[in-house]
Structure 1
Amino acid sequence: MFVDSHCHLDFPELASQLPEVLERMRANHVTHALCVSVNLPDWPRLMELVRGHEHLWASVGVHPDYEDTPDPSVEQLVGLAADPKVVAIGETGLDYYRLTGDLEWQRERFRRHIRAARETGKPLIIHTRAAAADTLRIMEEERAAETGGVMHCFTESQEVADAAIAMNFYISFSGIVTFKNARDLQEVARTIPLDRVLIETDSPYLAPVPHRGKLNDPSKVVHVAEKIAELRGIPVDEVSQASTSNFFRLFKDVKQ
């Protein structure tokens, strides 16, 4: 039994073949998937998708890369998060890799998401790229530890992982952990506590080896678990059981 803790089934590449994707999930024992919001204009379409499937769930939030999109208020996020199919706030965070210049708007957006998470009691889904120090600083200043959450598609250092775990966060590994050049990340996956590990695809992107470069979908999260098991020298069933238990512990509103 596997769970994909982060995917984008509403993106056109996957939405156009949803029945086939769901069948591949079933065939590979992927029982649940969390479909993560990236902006508010597309959020109704995301919700329409998850409402039709009892094993699909959603978040609400605006990705830090989305500059030219409506910025949510705390009150708006809290109101949308009241939907029973919404189990998390995000994805949110900071990304200094793709965007440059004055990014204070990104930091303020991140703060609003953390405040909404604290008000709703729902966990955060955090994206951070080339911005680890500011991400951790804002998490601490805004008391993100009160809700906890997940550092999704983790690619940072052991020190960043340890700091996030100390703030009640889980570390989620994507197909990147299977890449040959991801040695530092593989060491993080090998050493952090297993009770803090989640697995994800971030599909339709980042397909794991042996599917690298191809369209990704939640059925391929199995390969992420297999790689983590290989790195830790344990059976894949142990990674499956731990990551699945961790998912339901963090996203407590998801019905099993």
Structure 2
Amino acid sequence: MDLFDTHAHLNDENYNEDRDEMIQRARQAGIRHIVNIGFNLASSRESIKLADSYDLIYAAVGIHPHDAAEAGPGYLEELEKMALHPKVAAIGEIGLDYYRDLSPRPVQRKVFVEQMALAKKLQKPIIIHDRDAHGDMMDILRKEKLGPSGGVMHCYSGSWEMARELLDMGFYISIAGPVTFSNAARLKDVAARVPRDRLLIETDAPYLTPAPYRGRRNEPAHIQYTAEEIARLRGMEKEDLAKMCAENGRKLFRIA
């Protein structure tokens, strides 16, 4: 299959014992590209190192809302330097998280908007994290506008009505392992309705492991189960769904 895991954290310590083997399993499963995501300056640098080490891995650099309070003076300049690396495909993950509130909400919003502006300056797509912050997220996006390089709402968890507005703004919608859960009726509905040219899939590994491995460590090879469920929901063959989403990912992240 032609698979593209558009969001993973492969520099996570959960892979310290078998990282190379895990990446080889991804290749064997048909994964041709992975975007590895930064969440602060240190992890963004690690993401670039991984991208340099493996041909199928590309990097994203950014400050996650959990880490927004630690974004000190000069952080944007550091991100800009990193983003010039030829294998940095996006600015992310950035956004808002009102579930854990690990950074003050005003600081989250400020750092998010600053990174959106940086992405526009650098002509890079953005990867957005939005958890329990739909209202403020949509208000910011309506005001700040998505840049011409586009963006993706990662691990989508909102309603179809919200997805439709995001699609009108120019966003891609990315679906992760929870779509395989039996109680995910709203997410299944969204996965079935997103237009063909705007749908992405991801693992968010090592998190959000799909059935049948729910509760265990996730890894990119498991994306095939997410693809299989979305294909079922859309009445497609799994291989066709995988290829469609992979082509969308390559277009968004400008990967040949």
Q: Calculate the TM-score normalised by the size of structure 2.
A: 0.94
- Supply the distance in 2 between the matched residues of 1:49 and 1:145 (Cα, whole angstroms): 27
- Supply the distance in 2 between the matched residues of 1:159 and 1:16 (Cα, whole angstroms): 43
The count of residues paired between Structure 1 and Structure 2 equals: 254
1:42 aligned counterpart, secondary structure = helix
Kept in 2: contact 1:145–1:169 (CA 8 A): no
**Structure 2 match to 1:125:** 127
* Shift, 1:142, TM fit: 1.6
Letter in 2 for 1:240: A
Which residue, 72, 95, 104 being the options, matches 2:106? 104
* Shift, 1:22, TM fit: 1.4
- Supply the distance in 1 between the matched residues of 2:29 and 2:248 (Cα, whole angstroms): 19
1:30 equivalent in alignment to 2:45: no
Which residue, 146, 149, 152 being the options, matches 1:150? 152
Which segments of 5 or more consecutive residues in structure 2 lack a partner in the other structure?
none
- Supply the distance in 1 between the matched residues of 2:162 and 2:148 (Cα, whole angstroms): 18
Kept in 1: contact 2:80–2:118 (CA 8 A): yes
**Structure 2 match to 1:12:** 13
* Shift, 1:77, TM fit: 2.4
Kept in 1: contact 2:66–2:102 (CA 8 A): no
Kept in 2: contact 1:190–1:232 (CA 8 A): yes
**Structure 1 match to 2:95:** 93
Deviates more, 1:157-166 or 1:68-77: 68-77
Deviations 1:224-243 (A, max 9, x none): 11000011111112211110
- Supply the distance in 2 between the matched residues of 1:16 and 1:164 (Cα, whole angstroms): 39
* Shift, 1:143, TM fit: 2.0
* Shift, 1:133, TM fit: 1.8
* Shift, 1:31, TM fit: 1.2
**Structure 2 match to 1:58:** 59
Letter in 1 for 2:110: E
RMSD: 1.5
2:136 aligned counterpart, secondary structure = helix
* Shift, 1:183, TM fit: 0.4
- Supply the distance in 1 between the matched residues of 2:18 and 2:220 (Cα, whole angstroms): 13
* Shift, 1:159, TM fit: 1.3
- Supply the distance in 1 between the matched residues of 2:45 and 2:80 (Cα, whole angstroms): 15
- Supply the distance in 1 between the matched residues of 2:49 and 2:42 (Cα, whole angstroms): 13
- Supply the distance in 1 between the matched residues of 2:224 and 2:157 (Cα, whole angstroms): 19
Kept in 1: contact 2:61–2:93 (CA 8 A): yes
- Supply the distance in 2 between the matched residues of 1:139 and 1:190 (Cα, whole angstroms): 24
Q: Calculate the TM-score normalised by the size of structure 1.
A: 0.94
- Supply the distance in 2 between the matched residues of 1:197 and 1:40 (Cα, whole angstroms): 29
- Supply the distance in 2 between the matched residues of 1:73 and 1:144 (Cα, whole angstroms): 22
- Which consecutive aligned stretches of 4+ in structure 1 deviate over 3 angstroms post-superposition? 71-76
- Supply the distance in 2 between the matched residues of 1:38 and 1:100 (Cα, whole angstroms): 13
Kept in 2: contact 1:73–1:112 (CA 8 A): no
Alignment of 1:170-249 (within 5 A): 170-249=172-251
Kept in 1: contact 2:191–2:230 (CA 8 A): yes
Kept in 1: contact 2:69–2:104 (CA 8 A): no
Which segments of 5 or more consecutive residues in structure 1 lack a partner in the other structure?
none
* Shift, 1:16, TM fit: 3.0
Higher relative helix content: 2
* Shift, 1:136, TM fit: 1.6
2:78 aligned counterpart, secondary structure = helix
